[in-house]
Amino acid sequence: MKNSKVICRALDIIKTYWRGKVAVEALRGVNIDICRNDYISIMGMSGSGKSTLIHILSCLDTPTTGDYYLDNTIISKYTDEELARIRNKYFGFIFQNFSLLPRLTALENVALPLNYANVSTSEQQTRAKEILAKIGLAERMLHRPNEMSGGECQRVAIARALVNQPQVIFADEPTGNLDSRTGSEIMEILDRL
C-alpha cells in the first residue's frame, strides 16, 4: 500500500451470514480506502450492509473473505485481545442508542475508554472534564443518562468517542433517535471535529 495517508483499506470484502441453511450476503466485493481527515457518509437502504461494513472497518467483526488493512497492517493477523486494544487506540464509536452505562455519570461514561487504556485516574478525570466542557456539558457531568435529554446523552456519547483522541470515529446513525433540531445540533458538533 503506497498511500501512507490511508488508514483503513478494505479489499474485496464479502460478509455472509447464515440463517439456518440460507446464506445471506450482507456485503459483496466492497472496496474502500479511508484516509486521515476524511469525512465519509455511508448511505443505503435498511438492511443494505452499512452497519456490517462499519463493524468490519472498526474491527468489531471480520469479513468472510477479503482483506482489511489498518495502518498498512492486515487485521487478520491479530488476536481478539489485540483487536480490543486496537479498537481502543484507533477508534471512537457513536451509536444510535448512545450505549451509555446507566449507573455511571456522564463524567464516568466519558472516562471509561481511558480506564481501558490504563490512563491514570487523575488524567481520566482531567481529559473527561475537558471534553465535556468543549461540547457544552460541564454542568451536567455528574448526571446519569436517565437525568439527561436524548441530545445530551448523544453529546456524552460523542465526548466518550473523542476522549482517547482516536484516529477514526465511527458513527452509526448518530441522529436516528433524535428530533430533527437536536439531530442537526449533533451533526454540527460532528462537522466541527
**Structural domains of the chain, ranges and CATH numbers in brackets:** 6-77 (3.40.50.300), 93-192 (3.40.50.300)
Look at 107-111, 151-155, 165-169, 173-177 and tell me which has the smallest mean pLDDT.
Answer: 173-177
pLDDT tens profile 39-96: 888 888 888 999 999 999 999 999 999 999 999 999 998 999 999 989 988 998 887 7
pLDDT by residue (tens digit) across 109-163?
999 999 888 899 999 999 999 999 988 899 999 999 999 998 899 889 989 998 9
Structure confidence at residue 193 (pLDDT): 66
Find the mean pLDDT for residues 28-49.
89
d(CA 33, CA 10): 6
Q: CB of 15 within 8 A of CB of 63?
A: yes
- Give the whole-angstrom CA distance, residue 84 versus residue 189: 27
Exposed/middle/buried for 57, CB within 10 Å: 0-12, 13-18, 19+? buried
Region 159-168: mean pLDDT is 90
